[in-house]
Amino acid sequence: MQLKNDRYIRALLRQPVDTTPVWMMRQAGRYLPEYKATRAEAGDFMSLCKNAELACEVTLQPLRRFDLDAAILFSDILTIPDAMGLGLYFETGEGPKFKHALSSKAQIEALPIPDPEDELGYVMNAVRTIRRNLKGEVPLIGFSGSPWTLATYMVEGGASKAFTKIKKMAYADPNALHLLLDKLADSVIAYLNAQIKAGAQSVMVFDTWGGVLTPRDYQLFSLQYMHKIVDGLIREHDGQRVPVTLFTKNGGAWLEKIADTGCDGVGLDWTIDIAEAKRRVGDRVALQGNMDPSILYAPAARIEDEVKTILAGFGNGTGHVFNLGHGIHLDVPPENAGVFVEAVHKFSKQYHQE
């Protein structure tokens, strides 16, 4: 099925578009009252993820409100560790936790690589259901956490501020950590390729915690494993190119090295100026980003002003997917998100005239 709106795919492939495409990280989520109602119906977060019809419903909810150029699979980055048997659960107000955190090489050696159509089959069912219900309106983005980011949760046992347990493993027992990261990279490759076969038309790797590493250790423990993933992905399916985007939060220092992986797009957070990012990577990759999500608390005129500034920073031509620099905050008024999306389309046309 041909896409009715393929701006997002075209921009990632640095092909001409009529206006800059826009979507938002966490666009299906807690800032929308209809999401809260659907989650209440599901009972809890993972039950929502595992019900294909409800996961489809929350994926489509933001598209009914806003003129977005892509849908993103509703799921969680921790599905792979959960499928490895670590016992994922959620504490109210505290985020995800694991019952069986990893602390030894023996535990890591015993970890299985999950079958994406078996232990993670519920994700593939959601992808197929969403793709069918999108009816070719916009492309569907699949995603995974990066090996390093998944490993931080698996070793720390949940979210962390200092990352002492995983850094202890990195420096005191690096062989154990590399074994874990290699297993995770193989798992992510299988998982994302299964999403592509099930209908995802683009994929994204979220390296939420790569920015806590030193430059040397970022390449050693994070980037080399994302590079392995890029090399292992299906890049063409059903006669269409399948773009891959890598996003490292606080990764602005390493843009050139991220671009060297062969990915199609590099995600930017708000701590780097997009004009500088474009100057550094040229036209080797598309750039995705990079408005501070907190701007969405501002009045409409301030939101529009920030959109204009970022568009002007990127300048003429293609290769920009407009997004927030991280996920939308849960207490942002939905109408402010609407102002943002409309502003991108309205003010970007001038940068795409032949």
Q: What is the dihedral of CA 54, 59, 62, 66, to 10 degrees?
A: -140
Q: How far is CA 271 from CA 106, 291, 315, in A?
A: 39, 9, 19
Please indicate, yes or no, if residue 323 is contained in any of the structural domains. Answer: no
* Residue 1 placed within a domain: no
Does 31 qualify as catalytic in the annotation?
no
Catalytic, 76? Answer yes
Please report whether residue 287 resides in a domain. Answer: no
Share of the chain above pLDDT 70, in %: 99
Helix (H, G, I), strand (E, B) or coil at 221: helix
Catalytic residue chosen out of the listed positions 26, 65, 128, 302: 26
Q: Is the whole model's pTM more than 0.95, yes or no?
A: yes
Catalytic residue among 65, 76, 173, 235: 76
pLDDT at 1 over 70: no
Question: Which residues span the domain enclosing 105?
Answer: 24-275
Residue numbers in the known binding site for substrate are: 26-30, 76, 153, 208, 326
Cα distances from 6 to residues 16, 99, 243, 322, 351, in angstroms, run 11, 42, 12, 14, 18
Residue 120 has pLDDT above 70, yes or no: yes
Cis amide linkage into residue 5, ω under 30° from 0: no
Tell me the pLDDT band of 248, cut-offs 50, 70 and 90.
Answer: very high
pLDDT for 343: 98
pLDDT tens digits along 255-264: 999 999 999 9
Residue pLDDT, tens place only, 305-332: 999 999 999 999 999 999 999 999 999 9
Say how many domains are in the chain: 1
Mean pLDDT to the nearest integer, 12-37: 97
Marked catalytic residue, from 30, 65, 284, 302: 30
| pLDDT value of residue 91 | 78
CA–centroid distance for 217 within its chain: 22
> In the annotation, is 10 catalytic?
no
Tell me if 43 is assigned to some domain. yes
Residues annotated in the binding site, as ranges?
A: 26-30, 76, 153, 208, 326
Please give the C-alpha separations between residue 56 and each of 121, 148, 180, in angstroms, as whole numbers: 15, 28, 32
Q: What is the pLDDT of residue 90?
A: 86
Is 30 one of the catalytic residues?
yes
Does residue 352 sit within a domain?
no
Higher pLDDT, 112 or 354: 112
pLDDT tens for 41-68 read 999 999 999 999 999 999 999 999 999 9
Residue 302 designated active-site:
no
- Of 8, 31, 153, 191, the catalytic one is 153
pLDDT confidence bin for 196, thresholds 50/70/90: very high
Q: What is the pLDDT of residue 4?
A: 97
- Asked whether residue 172 is assigned to any structural domain, the reply reads yes
94 falls within a domain: yes
CATH number, domain of 79, equals: 3.20.20.210
Query: Is 194 part of any domain?
Result: yes
Tokens linked to 170:
């990195």
Name the pLDDT band for 95 (thresholds 50, 70, 90): confident
- Report residue 338 as tokens: 């609407």
